[in-house]
Amino acid sequence: MAMIPSYTDIPFGDEKGVYMTIDLGGTNIRCTLFVRSFDHYSAPIPRSIDGTLPTGFSSRSQPTRQTFSQALFYWGKEFRASGVIGEDVVMLLQNALNAESLDWVRVIAMSNDTIGVLNCLRMGNDTACISLIVGTGTNASYREDIANMQNLSNVPELLDHMCINMELGEINLFPKTQEDEELCAQSKNQDVQTLSKQTSGKYLSHPPHFGLSRALNENSFYRR
Same domain, 140 and 212: no
pTM (global) more than 0.85: no
Same domain, 186 and 86: no
State the average pLDDT for the chain: 79
Who's near 53: CB < 8 A, 6+ residues apart? Answer: 18, 19, 20, 33, 46, 47, 104, 105, 106
Secondary structure (DSSP) of 90-144 = HHHHHHHHHHTT-TTEEEEEEEEHHHHHHHHHHHH-TT--EEEEESSSEEEEEEE
Residue 38's closest CA among 19, 20, 16? 16
Same domain, 105 and 203: no
As a whole number of angstroms, the distance between CA 214 and CA 208 comes to 10
CATH number reported for the structural domain that contains residue 150 in this entry: 3.30.420.40
pLDDT above 90 for 144: yes
Please give the average per-residue pLDDT across 143-150, as a whole number.
90
pLDDT digits (tens, 9 = 90+) for 114-143: 888 898 888 888 888 999 988 878 889 999
Task: Look at residue 10 and tell me if it is in a domain.
Answer: yes
Task: Look at residue 40 and tell me if it is in a domain.
Answer: yes
Same domain, 191 and 133: no
As a whole number of angstroms, the distance between CA 214 and CA 180 comes to 13
pLDDT digits (tens, 9 = 90+) for 16-32: 778 888 887 767 788 88
Same domain, 155 and 192: no
Rg (CA), the chain: 20
pLDDT above 70 for 66: no
As a whole number of angstroms, the distance between CA 136 and CA 60 comes to 9
Task: Look at residue 223 and tell me if it is in a domain.
Answer: no
Which carries the bigger pLDDT value, residue 90 or residue 141? 141
Count of positions (residues) in the chain:
224
Task: Look at residue 224 and tell me if it is in a domain.
Answer: no
Same domain, 131 and 148: yes
Same domain, 45 and 89: yes
CB 213 within 8 A of CB 179: no
**Whole domain around residue 71: which residue ranges?**
4-170
Same domain, 160 and 195: no
What integer pLDDT is reported at residue 37 of this predicted model? 55
pLDDT above 80 for 217: yes
Counting the structural domains of the chain, the total is 2
- In Å, what is the CA distance from 165 to each residue of 1, 39, 175, 207? 9, 27, 24, 28
Kindly report the number of other CB atoms within 10 A of residue 207's CB atom: 18
What integer pLDDT is reported at residue 44 of this predicted model? 44
Task: Look at residue 23 and tell me if it is in a domain.
Answer: yes
